[in-house]
Structure 1
Amino acid sequence: MERKYKKLLKCMVLDAIGMASAALPVVDVVWAPIAASISYRMFGEKRGKYTSVITFIEEILPVTDVIPSFTIFWFLFDFLGVGEKAKTANSPVDTDFIEIN
């Protein structure tokens, strides 16, 4: 299985744990900081700052546990590549080193 799809499977499991914690709201108090920490490490230092805050808020608030935040972040960052630098053939060229005949 491709690496990014293994990550998707992990995200789905983490979302299932978050949804299961909705049955016992006391568990959310423990799960929210754990989920935020996992989100930070899973999505990298730069994106993780934002994903961890969003994940914490989503997990700590009642009724929002049904939102699959890990899977949404995977879809945005790993599947669609949102926030990545564009990899184009038309990258800037340093004109100081171009030889013109």
Structure 2
Amino acid sequence: MTKKYKKLILSILLDLIGIIPIPFIDVLWAPLSSYLISKMYKGKQGKVAAIISFIEEAIPFLDIIPTFTIMWFYSHVIKKEEVEEIIMF
């Protein structure tokens, strides 16, 4: 299994933790998820993802959004397509 797919599995697991509907956990999870996503995805995109993750986890009922998995998809599918498109021109 490649590093890319290990990161996908980790992203899914972290999103599942974020869905746990216990308010006390949300208070702890919001800053932790923000920190983790900033370490998983470096640079500007990691910083933006950290802010989005914190807001998403801190606001009630937004926990269902799979921020880590969306970020993985953006990094490994969408951004990859943009790079390939630039190379072809």
* Relative contact order, higher structure (CA 8 A, sep 6+): 2
Does residue 54 (structure 1) correspond to residue 55 (structure 2)? The answer is no
Structure-1 residue corresponding to 2:41:
43
- Cα deviation, 1:26-82, whole Å, max 9, x if unaligned, reads 111111000000011111122111000000000010001011010001001122226
- Cα deviation, 1:78-101, whole Å, max 9, x if unaligned, reads 22226x6565155xxxxxxxxxxx
May I ask how many residue pairs the two structures share in their alignment?
Answer: 88
Alpha-carbon RMSD: 1.9
Identity in percent: 40
Give 1:11's aligned amino acid: S
What TM-score do the two structures reach when normalised by structure 2?
0.87
Q: Secondary structure at the match of 1:63?
A: coil
**CA distance in structure 1 between the partners assigned to 2:12 and 2:75 by the alignment:** 15
What TM-score do the two structures reach when normalised by structure 1?
0.78
Question: Which runs of no fewer than 5 residues in structure 2 stay unpaired?
Answer: none
Greater per-residue helix proportion: 2
**CA distance in structure 1 between the partners assigned to 2:48 and 2:28 by the alignment:** 20
Higher-Rg structure is: 1
Question: Which runs of no fewer than 5 residues in structure 1 stay unpaired?
Answer: 91-101
Give 1:52's aligned amino acid: A
Structure-1 residue corresponding to 2:87:
88
